[in-house]
Amino acid sequence: MRAWLDARSLVVLEARSADDLMARALRGRPRLAIFDLRMAGAEPGGGRGRDLSALRATIRNACARMKHDSFTGIVPAVALVAPSSGDAELLAALEAGADEVIEERMSEAEVLGRLDTLLRRSDRDTFVHPSTRLPGTDEIAAEITRRLAQGDPFAVCYADLDHFKEFNDRYSYHDGDRVIRILARILHDVAKGFCGEAGFVGHIGGDDFIFIVPAAAVADTCGEVIAIFDALVPYQYSEQDRRAGYFFGKDRRGQLHRVPLMTVSIGVVTNERRQFTHASQVSELATEMKSYAKTLAGSVYTIDRRQDGVAEHPIVVTRTGAGAREST
């Protein structure tokens, strides 16, 4: 265990009590926590001291306490058990919240494999959004970096809902979460349906999403996303609001105004006419294009057609009932 931790440059800190563990974990969330249930009760000099089973229960309770807290619960927990403890101790560790149980009788290769897998699983779970299970900001940046290095033409599409806050205020956060999950499913199914493994969908947070597709697939994917969303979103409203096409809501000054049904705005950036060196450059421009799209009425996607060193207006593609319309 020590060699494995040292190889990954992980600093080892020992916690002597559950309170000490929680204080350390809440100050700075650790990479993982190891609970040693093998020699619990052995005191310096070889004395047994307190009852061994009671100490093991104390250690298991410390694990359960860490896993119960919403901030520290994502920290992967490893329990070390002696081969003589039997299945009861293994099951008790799992019931306490341990994500992995390591026994002394396991081979070195198995132990290392289990620990490496645990960290990979923890990273994957940490980097996805809890409500949509889509990759988060770290994975989005990594995917953009990978595509930049690959060099093939690709498009980063930033999707954001219009009038989402007013919808939440009128209905509930539960209804808002449902709409977010609907948009996530639309983006995933369309991107994967048109592009297969070349399509990527990530969730920045709230109602903000990024999907990445080959540059040639922008019109198909964005047009389909808009068409499906516009067809489904009216049914997230009450029949009265759906028939009217709007509802009355209050602005920040408390004044009533008409709030239209939600639409989706998509800002698109490609590497066809620009040279990017960092993912942050792409995300900054995608944010700019998304903000521009939100100034337009209805569900739209806007593609940045500007070239490095040349000032041009972006091309605006608006989805209407008759199909896609492109204008400068």
At residue 325, does pLDDT exceed 60? Answer: no
Mean pLDDT of 246-272: 89
Q: Which of 86-90, 106-110, 216-220 shows the lowest mean pLDDT across its residues?
A: 86-90
Q: Which of 299, 320, 258 is nearest to 160 (CA)?
A: 299
- What pLDDT does 149 receive? 94
Nearest Cα residue to 270 out of 187, 157, 188: 157
Average pLDDT over the chain, rounded to an integer: 87
Q: What is the pLDDT of residue 51?
A: 73
Right CATH number for 137-327 from 3.40.640.10, 3.30.1330.40, 3.30.70.270, 3.40.50.12780?
A: 3.30.70.270
Q: What is the pLDDT of residue 320?
A: 47
What whole-number percentage of the chain has pLDDT above 70? 88
Looking at residue 47, its pLDDT comes to 46
pLDDT score at 315: 65
Please report how many Cα atoms fall inside a 13 Å half-sphere around the Cα of residue 281, on the Cβ side.
10
Residue 45 has pLDDT above 50, yes or no: no
pLDDT tens-digit map of 8-25: 888 999 998 999 999 888
Chain position carrying tokens 């489904």:
232
Is pLDDT above 60 for 48? no
Nearest to 200 by CA among 184, 188, 208: 188
pLDDT of the residue at 309: 61
Cβ atoms of residues 138 and 203 within 8 Å: no
Q: How far apart are CA 151 and CA 145, in angstroms?
A: 10
Predicted confidence (pLDDT) per residue in 272-309, tens digit: 988 999 999 999 999 999 999 999 999 999 999 887 76
CA distances from 179 to 168, 262, 285, 297 (A): 10, 10, 26, 20
Asked if pLDDT for residue 312 goes beyond 70, the answer is no
- pTM summary value: 0.71
Where are the domains positioned within the chain?
Answer: 2-126, 137-327
pLDDT confidence tier of residue 327, bands split at 50, 70 and 90: very low
Question: 């989402």: which residue's tokens?
Answer: 164
pLDDT at 46: 47
Q: Which residue has the higher pLDDT, 85 or 294?
A: 294
Of the two residues 125 and 195, the one the predictor is more confident about is 195
Was domain 2-126 assigned CATH 3.40.50.280?
Answer: no
Per DSSP, the residues of 143-192 read HHHHHHHH---EEEEEEEEESHHHHHHHS-HHHHHHHHHHHHHHHHHHHH
Query: What does the DSSP assignment read for 56-81?
Result: HHHHHHHHHHHHHSTTTTTS-EEEEE
